[in-house]
Amino acid sequence: MGCRNPEKAAVALEAVKKVAADAAPEAMPLDLADLDDVRACAQRLTDKLDPLDVLMNNAGVMAIPHQRTKQGFEMQFGTNHLGHFALTGLLLPILRQAHAPRVVTVSSVVHRRGGSASTTGRGRGTRGGSPISSSKLAHLLFTSELQRRAAAAGADLLAVAAHPGYAATNLSSGLATVYRLGARLSDRLFAQSDRMGALPQLYAATMPDVGATTTGGPTASCSGVAGRRGWAAAARHVTAAQLFASGRQREANGHHLHW
């Protein structure tokens, strides 16, 4: 378990140990907002693991005050996407050593509002939901391209995007007080539990009906209306061409992709 906060990592580790049925879980220091730390973590994992069967890219921050990562990127885009992008690339050698490895990256339906945030946070789209929406759009583009390249190389690696639906987690903790209270009320009325929200990731990592196509990476989502709640299920494939087409439509409406 890659964790930035040692105290929270210790609590999570003990909780997982109580239900772990096979190998004992371990916590590994990892700060996705620091690419030097990402590289160091990848090296520790490479030295320790042979092979790596599944990489679960599921860290995220949202609606925080404007900040930058150590390398100067906008914090939400840098943490959510660039850190995962670098980690995946650095771990590809040990992923390739596994039989049918999978890279699961957690995206969201909010990718539909993505595309207006720059990687540095300059210009439009540096506040509110734009950076996280853009990071989730980048996740889907990354998943589609990783799958395309794996297929072209004849690798049996499967890149999958997972959408957790509307799950009640602590992602809204960075909001201003009045919005945070509203988010908590919405969580109680409309959201599903964090346990249910984790199921699409597990489905994407393990189920045999999640398969790649020649045009893009597969997805897993919740089976309810608009994928917002319900049991996990395989979802429709989203191709890079479709995502770029939606990006071009946003550009025509006055929004621009800056990556």
pLDDT in the model for residue 233:
58
- My answer on whether omega of the bond before 51 falls inside 30° of 0, hence cis, is yes
All residues at 6 or more sequence positions from 12 whose CB lies less than 8 Å from its CB, including other chains: 1, 3, 27
For the residues 63-67, what does the mean pLDDT come to?
82
Residue 245 confidence (pLDDT) above 90: no
What DSSP character marks residue 191? P
* pLDDT, tens only, 200-241: 888 888 888 787 554 445 565 544 445 555 555 566 555 544
pLDDT in the model for residue 214:
42
Query: Please, what is the end-to-end C-alpha distance for the chain in angstroms?
Result: 29
All residues at 6 or more sequence positions from 99 whose CB lies less than 8 Å from its CB, including other chains: 53, 156
* pLDDT, tens only, 5-50: 999 999 999 999 999 988 889 999 999 999 999 999 999 999 999 8
pLDDT in the model for residue 254:
38
- Check residues 190 and 128 and name the one with the higher pLDDT: 190
The pTM of this model reads 0.77
pLDDT in the model for residue 59:
86
For the residues 129-146, what does the mean pLDDT come to?
80
Rounded Cα distance, 132 and 172, in Å: 12
Q: How confident is the model at residue 123 (pLDDT cuts 50, 70, 90)?
A: very low
pLDDT in the model for residue 209:
79
What does the angle CA 198 – CA 200 – CA 205 come to, to the nearest 5 degrees? 100
pLDDT in the model for residue 50:
86
Least confident of 73-82, 107-116, 248-257: 248-257
Residue 174 confidence (pLDDT) above 60: no
